[in-house]
Amino acid sequence: MSSDGRHIRLFIGLGIAALLLLGKIFSIQILQNRYKEDAERNSTIYETIYPTRGVIYDRNGRILVGNKVAYDILVSPREVQAFDTVALATVLGVEPSFIRARLQEYNRRRASIGFQSVTMLRTVPAETYMRFDEVKYRFPGFKGQVRGIRDYPVNAGGNLLGYVSEVNQAYIDSHPGEYRSGDYAGMTGIEAAREVDLRGEKGYHIYLRNSRNQIEQPYKDGAEDKEAIPGHDIVTTIDAELQQYGQELMRNKVGSIVAIEPSTGEILALVSSPGIDVEQLADIGKHYNEIVSNPYKPMYNRAVQASYPPGSVFKLVNGLIGLQEGVLQPSYTYPCSQGYHFGSGHKLGCHAHKSPINMEESIMMSCNAYYCYVLKNILDNKKYANVAEALDAWHEYVESFGFGRKLGSDFPAELAGSIPTSKTYNKAYGRGRWNSTTVISLSIGQGEILATPMHLANLCATIANRGHYYIPHIVKASEGVEIDSRFTERQYTKVDTVHFTKLIRGMWRAVNSGAGMGGTAWVAHIDSLDVCGKTGTAQNPRGADNSVFICFAPMDNPKIAIAAYVENGGFGATYAAPIASLMVEKYLKGTVKRQSLEEQMKSRDLMSRVKTD
């Protein structure tokens, strides 16, 4: 039978089928690019090379935060074969049941683990790691990993330095393109503030891998690899020894110490107590819950994050404003009979001291009544149409000292505190329904005033500089690390330099008048150092008064300005003054002669006075 040309039709069909196949092949090989990209992704693996993180130094070149290696034991569950569990447990120094439990857990999670490795033991001792390394061939699937972690040679500035931890998804999302899961980043303190300098640049090695995720060979013999660039070192303004000493003095007390070099604004010490121990920082993951659940909130950096009423220390500001406004002269004397009496039977109390007194004496003896007169004169000044206008003028003065706003330091999470304006009282009492006596507690730094210990230290530095300050900062410029120009610019207050010298006499007398002369801070006296200081005793609605003290030394050409704030410490002279004074002695003299005072301060435990609920 002839084919009736049917074989030709079959040829046409064959041709169509062949064209169909070739067309599809042409499409995926030539027209589409995604298969080439997928093949790249399939067969290459990027091994990230982590840079060494920058070292953090103190102002004298001591290492505050360095790097060291940690040894982890990893396991790839899919590659594990039968092994001697007891032998492995002995080598690693764990119980055999621990290993069995972990392997069981990985078996449950095998779908998500796949061919990856998981960390079975974190930071094992070096000798354990070496022992394991010798015998690991007997335990297929188990391997060691060397990892860089932070090392803290001195226990100084846990809160200040901050910690480094693995980034979470929220962090990755908020820094698009910079981090990947498994990366580490500074989360608080300097580690966070200077993350960009410290972290360096990641590098990578590209390898060809097979379908079981095993590395076969370097991709293009490593031609496309990129090496890691180490992070920049950071030099801080901190004096490690002073910082450590401050932490010791504040042990078992709640509060903070801020020490500033007045001529530069560099922070010499920033103590927040209770704080985080550097040992906890190194392994923050393990201690995090313990830290967070501590009722005294060690994570909370009180030096910049706690707003307190400044107390009598604030009289200095009111005095300066009075002098600048011309409503106060150093020679003015005011009476004080156990306080300031106003209205019908109201009284703002004061302690027993001689009366009447002039301005220097008012500072030396910290008279409350005197400053009630001063504030009244400022607010009832005829220059201003009404008390509201006068208060706003006062507010402008106060703000020029850095109060009521963030100072703009390079420290993350700084609080602004608050200074009232006429609006504050209009809201509380109604327009025109308040006067200078209503707000009289502002005179002694109580009432609607809130400031952080950093604000007080800055005030002290401003007085030491006789009218200007540098924004407090914690990082010095060094090779490869720049600091913002705002830190090198003088910030002037609205009070002239001449007025400061008058006030400083009073601060000098408060410390140096000798016992029995009525000076509130004679305990802060240091031989041959002209310490100038001012005590404060701030009311604390939650128990005993807060103890406050600011001082600077020496009087001429000051090297250190310091503020100490001890919660529930009582009088300023009881805790804050001796602690600040000891810090000054330590910094300027190198050694502390007043051993008994030092011992006394270190050993006192005020924790039971602090309410934590």
Partner 1 sequence: MPREGVIPERRLRQSIDWALVGTYLLLVFIGWVSIYASIHSTNPPSIFSWTARSGKQFVWMLTAFGLAGLILYVIPPKLWEAFPIPLYAIVLGLLVLVIFVSKDVKGSHSWFELGPVKFQPAELSKITTSLLLAFFLSRQGIKLTRLKDFVLAALIIAVPMLVIVGESETGSALVYAGFIFVLYREGLSGWWLGLIGLVIVLFISTLVLGSYWAIVLLLGVLVLCNAFFGDFWRRLALGGGFVVLMALLPSAWEWVCNAVQAHMDWISAVTWVPEPGETQHYYWSFLLKIKPVYILLALSFMALPFLGVYVYRKRDAFLGITLLVFLAGVLLVFSADYIFQDVLQPHQRGRIEVLLGLKEDLSGVGYNVNQSKIAIGSGGLFGKGFLQGTQTTFGFVPEQSTDFIFCTVGEEWGFVGCLIVILLYVFLIVRIILDAESCRGKFTRIYGYCVAACIFMHLFINVGMTVGLMPVIGIPLPFLSYGGSSLWAFTVLLFIFLALYRDEKKYF
| Bridge partner residues of 144 (DSSP) | 73
Range 35-72 burial, b when 16+ CB lie within 10 A, else e: eeeeeeeeeebbeeebbebbbbbbbeeebbbeeeebbb
Q: Peptide bond before 554: cis, by omega within 30 degrees of 0?
A: yes
Stretch that binds partner 1, among 17-25, 172-180, 461-469, 472-480 (CB under 8 A): 17-25
User: What are the residue ranges of helices labelled H in 465-591?
Assistant: 497-512, 576-589
Footprint of partner 1 on 241-300 (CB under 8 A): none
Under the binding rule (CB under 8 A), the answer on residue 26 touching partner 1 is yes
Tell me the three state secondary structure of residue 181. Answer: coil
Half-sphere exposure of 608 (CA within 13 A, CB side): 2
Nearer to partner 1, 7 or 383 (CB): 7
Q: Does 220 bind partner 1 (CB under 8 A)?
A: no
Task: Tell me how far CA of residue 299 lies from CA of 256, 284, 377, 437, 583, in angstroms.
Answer: 13, 11, 43, 40, 23
In the complex, minimum distance from the CB of residue 3 to partner 1, in angstroms, rounded to a whole number: 6
Supply the minimum distance, in Å, between the C-beta of residue 88 and partner 1.
30
68 interacts with partner 1 by CB under 8 A: no
Least distance to partner 1, CB of residue 105, Å? 23
Tell me if 185 sits within 8 A of 195, measured CB to CB.
yes
43 binds partner 1 (CB under 8 A): yes
Residues 429-458 that bind partner 1 (CB under 8 A): none
Total residues in contact with partner 1, by rule CB under 8 A:
37
Nearer to partner 1, 37 or 201 (CB): 37
CB closer to partner 1, 11 vs 296:
11
Site membership for partner 1, residue 42 (CB under 8 A): yes
- Give yes or no for residue 16 binding partner 1 (CB under 8 A): no
Q: How far is CA 358 from CA 503, 520, 581, in A?
A: 11, 16, 26
Among 169, 170, 212, 590, the residue binding partner 1 under the rule CB under 8 A is 212
Q: How far is the CB of 1 from partner 1 (least distance, A)?
A: 7
Whichever of 206 and 306 has its CB closer to partner 1, that residue is 206
Alpha carbon distance 206, 565 (integer Å): 55
- Part in contact with partner 1 (CB under 8 A); list of ranges 21-29, 189-197, 313-321, 589-597: 21-29
CB contact set of 422 (below 8 Å; sequence gap of 6+): 387, 388, 389, 391, 392
Q: Does residue 17 belong to the site contacting partner 1 (CB under 8 A)?
A: yes
Q: Please identify, using beta-carbon distances, which residue of 6 and 175 lies nearer to partner 1.
A: 6
Binding partner 1 (rule: CB under 8 A), the pick from 90, 107, 145, 210 is: 210
Give the 3-state secondary structure of 348-384. EECCCCCCCECHHHHHHHCCHHHHHHHHHHHHCCCCC
Q: Which of 64, 462, 44, 34 is nearest to 263 (CA)?
A: 462
- Give residues in contact with partner 1 (CB under 8 A): 1, 3, 6-7, 9-11, 13-15, 17-18, 20-22, 24-26, 28-30, 32, 34-36, 38-40, 42-43, 208-212, 216-217
